[in-house]
């Protein structure tokens, strides 16, 4: 039984979804609905109580919940509807959405346009094949963050953290603030996975040792974690004999990567890029399925929430335009390609006939870090059409290259755009 057809339905009310809903409404879509599985809007920001949000958007350094609150309030003021505590179970290519909730029951609704903003899940112990027993006390850092910051419980007393991702480092500080003992942070790569600022303010500030090129080789403990065995590794991640250590602890936190959550996207027939883990998108964040857009961490993992807000805004505007039948599909999309030392480029395609004065943002992650000044260049065939000077490049820090209006002629003539890194 279908309820009705909404103009734009946004799935997820984190920063990506909120920005998309607001932009869609502001672009003229009247019936904009947010579907959120949590009890309130804000997504993951509700548990990210630390600072670092809004430096670009508001020129302020806000904690996550405060950043979210601004958008939640604006969404309410704009009359955007929200179904809370509601889970989307299915989406079809024709944009029929099946949801379930305690309050509304099990129902179907239709949308003229959908913005997918489901964010990420965390990489698990099984996915890194961490050997040992299976006691209580092994958590992903985000789950621990939720317990500490929302429910108010400490998952343990004595912690080891595997992975130098930002969530792990931030939790090292958070747990220390709450009286826990954080013994060690281990990172299998030879470089930091997250931001340097977090290394200084979360680990150095509290004398929490970080061991690069180290990993946990075994979890010990029958009912609850009792210790972890750690080891140094070489560049192929093979353990180096004689470097084993046993660290007594009762909790292991895993901060070993985020994976865009695209199970629903797949159900709708959205094509997923195996490199990013998210949908192939164009410069309006539309996927390969007409009328289905995606924004935020569900597309690829961002570092700064401000860029998620910006992506959500673009996606919301384009979703509204689609809902109001104001756009026709791209006839000759230009492909983007990952060149030397580039792992991926988002968006995957650009519509050369729909370029606006705001420019096109190419968001890029490198494969290997270079701690020296480089150019990040965009080439078409033989011609370099723009480049961005960076003082260094790191896999943990997304790079943005802007194609401004002066590059548009070249873009319009191009078949594909290749992004590459060149040392200066």
Partner 1 sequence: MTVPQYDFIIIGAGVVGSLVARALSRYQLDILLIDKASDVGTATSAANTAIVHAGYDPVPGSLKATMNVAGSLMWDSLADELNFAFERCGDYVVAVGADELARLDELLDRGRRNGVQGLHIISGEEMHRREPEISSQVSGALFASTGGICDPFAVTVAAAENAVMNGTHLMLETTFQDFVLEGRRIVGVETDRGAFGCRWAVNATGVYADEVMHRAGVRPEFTITPRRGEYLILDKAEVTISNVMFPVPTRLSKGILVTTTTHGNTIIGPNSHEVEDRDDTSITSDGIQEIWDGALKLAPGLHQRSIIATFAGLRATGNARCETPGVDYGHDFVIEIPDTIDGLVNLGGIESPGLSAAPAIAQRVVALLRDRGEPLTERSNWNPIRPARPCFRNLSPAQRRRLVESDPRYGRIVCRCETVMEGEIVAEIHAPIPATTYDAIKRRTWLGTGRCQGSFDTPRVVEILARELGISPLEVSKKGPGSELLARPTKVWEGA
Partner 2 sequence: MVEKTNLICVSCPMGCTLEVTHDGKTVLETTGNTCKRGLSYAKAEISDPRRMIATTVRVRGGEHPLVPVYTTAPFPKPRIRELLDQLRAIELDAPVQLDQPVLTNALGTGVDVRASRKLAAA
Which residues of this chain interact with partner 2, rule CB under 8 A? 39-40, 42, 46, 49-51, 61-66, 68-69, 148-152, 174, 177-178, 195-197, 199-201, 204-205, 391-392, 397
Specify the residue, 151 or 263, whose C-beta has the smaller distance to partner 2. Answer: 151
3-class DSSP state of 33: strand
Q: Considering CB distances under 5 to 8 angstroms, the limit depending on partner class, which of partner 1, partner 2, none binds residue 238? A: none
Specify the residue, 46 or 228, whose C-beta has the smaller distance to partner 2. Answer: 46
Q: Considering CB distances under 5 to 8 angstroms, the limit depending on partner class, which of partner 1, partner 2, none binds residue 87? A: partner 1
Specify the residue, 142 or 339, whose C-beta has the smaller distance to partner 2. Answer: 142
The minimum distance between CB 346 and partner 1, in angstroms, equals 21
Identify whether the C-beta of residue 68 lies closer than 8 Å to the C-beta of residue 45.
Answer: yes
The minimum distance between CB 349 and partner 1, in angstroms, equals 25
The rounded radius of gyration (Å) of the Cα atoms in the chain is 22
Torsions phi, psi of 233, nearest 5?
-130, 160
Cα 248–253–259 angle (5° rounding)? 155
The minimum distance between CB 24 and partner 2, in angstroms, equals 24
Specify the residue, 255 or 313, whose C-beta has the smaller distance to partner 1. Answer: 255
Specify the residue, 151 or 382, whose C-beta has the smaller distance to partner 1. Answer: 151
Q: Considering CB distances under 5 to 8 angstroms, the limit depending on partner class, which of partner 1, partner 2, none binds residue 64? A: partner 2
The minimum distance between CB 171 and partner 2, in angstroms, equals 12
Tokens found for residue 184 = 């060690």
Q: Strand ranges (DSSP E) for 233-330?
A: 245-248, 251-254, 258-260, 292-294
Question: Which is it for strands 374-380 and 416-423: parallel, antiparallel or unpaired?
Answer: antiparallel
d(CA 310, CA 295) in angstroms, rounded, equals 9
Q: Considering CB distances under 5 to 8 angstroms, the limit depending on partner class, which of partner 1, partner 2, none binds residue 242? A: none
Q: Considering CB distances under 5 to 8 angstroms, the limit depending on partner class, which of partner 2, partner 1, none binds residue 302? A: none
Report which DSSP code applies to 322: H
Torsions phi, psi of 311, nearest 5?
-65, -45
Q: Considering CB distances under 5 to 8 angstroms, the limit depending on partner class, which of partner 1, partner 2, none binds residue 61? A: partner 2
d(CA 312, CA 23) in angstroms, rounded, equals 8
Residues that bind partner 1 in the complex, under the rule CB under 8 A:
37, 85, 87, 89, 98, 100-107, 121-122, 124-127, 129, 131-137, 139-140, 142-143, 146-148, 150-157, 178-179, 217-219, 222-224, 250-251, 263, 266
- Picking from 418, 358, 354, 352, the residue whose alpha carbon sits closest to that of residue 383 is 418
CB crowding 250-288: b at 16 or more within 10 Å, else e: bbbbbbbbbebbbebbeebebebbeebbbbbbbbbbbbe
Tokens found for residue 71 = 């958008």
Q: Considering CB distances under 5 to 8 angstroms, the limit depending on partner class, which of partner 1, partner 2, none binds residue 139? A: partner 1
Q: Considering CB distances under 5 to 8 angstroms, the limit depending on partner class, which of partner 2, partner 1, none binds residue 391? A: partner 2
Specify the residue, 269 or 369, whose C-beta has the smaller distance to partner 2. Answer: 369
Specify the residue, 16 or 156, whose C-beta has the smaller distance to partner 1. Answer: 156
| Side-chain-facing half-sphere of 209: CA atoms under 13 Å | 8
């Amino acid at each position: 039984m279908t309820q009705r057809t909404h103009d734009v339905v946004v799935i997820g009310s984190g920063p990506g979804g909120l920005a998309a809903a607001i932009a869609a409404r502001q672009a003229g879509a009247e019936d904009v609905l947010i579907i959120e599985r949590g009890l309130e809007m804000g997504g993951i920001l509700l548990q990210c109580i630390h600072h670092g949000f809004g430096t670009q958007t508001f020129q302020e350094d806000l904690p996550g919940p405060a950043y979210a609150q601004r958008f939640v309030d604006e969404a309410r003021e704009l009359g955007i509807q929200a179904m809370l505590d509601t889970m989307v179970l299915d989406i079809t290519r024709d944009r029929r959405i099946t949801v379930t909730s305690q309050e509304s029951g099990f129902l179907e609704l239709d949308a003229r346009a959908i913005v997918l903003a489901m964010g990420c899940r965390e990489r698990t112990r099984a996915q890194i094949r961490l050997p040992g027993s299976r006691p209580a006390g092994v958590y992903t850092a985000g789950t621990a963050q939720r317990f500490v910051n929302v429910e108010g419980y400490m998952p343990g007393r004595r912690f080891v953290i595997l992975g130098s991702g930002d969530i792990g480092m931030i939790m090292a500080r958070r747990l220390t603030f709450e009286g826990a003992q954080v013994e060690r942070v281990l990172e299998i790569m030879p470089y930091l996975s997250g931001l340097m600022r977090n290394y200084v303010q979360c680990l150095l500030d509290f004398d929490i040792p970080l061991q690069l090129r180290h990993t946990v080789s075994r979890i010990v403990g029958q009912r609850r974690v009792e210790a972890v065995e750690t080891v140094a590794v070489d560049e192929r991640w093979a353990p180096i004999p004689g470097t084993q250590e046993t660290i007594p602890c009762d909790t292991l936190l895993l901060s070993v990567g985020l994976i865009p959550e695209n199970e629903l996207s797949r159900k709708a027939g959205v094509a997923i890029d195996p490199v990013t883990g998210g949908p192939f998108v164009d410069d309006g964040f539309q996927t390969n399925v007409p009328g289905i857009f995606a924004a935020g961490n569900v597309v690829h993992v961002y570092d700064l929430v401000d860029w998620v807000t910006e992506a959500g805004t673009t996606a919301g505007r384009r979703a509204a335009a689609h809902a109001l039948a104001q756009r026709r599909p791209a006839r000759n999309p230009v492909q983007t390609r990952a060149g030397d030392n580039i792992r991926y480029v988002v968006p995957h395609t650009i519509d050369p006939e729909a370029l606006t004065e705001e420019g096109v943002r190419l968001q890029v992650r490198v494969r290997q870090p270079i701690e020296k000044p480089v150019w990040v260049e965009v080439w078409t065939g033989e011609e370099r059409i723009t480049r961005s000077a960076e003082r260094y490049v790191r896999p943990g820090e997304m790079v943005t290259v802007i194609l401004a209006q002066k590059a548009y002629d070249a873009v319009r003539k191009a078949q594909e755009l290749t992004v590459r890194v060149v040392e200066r």
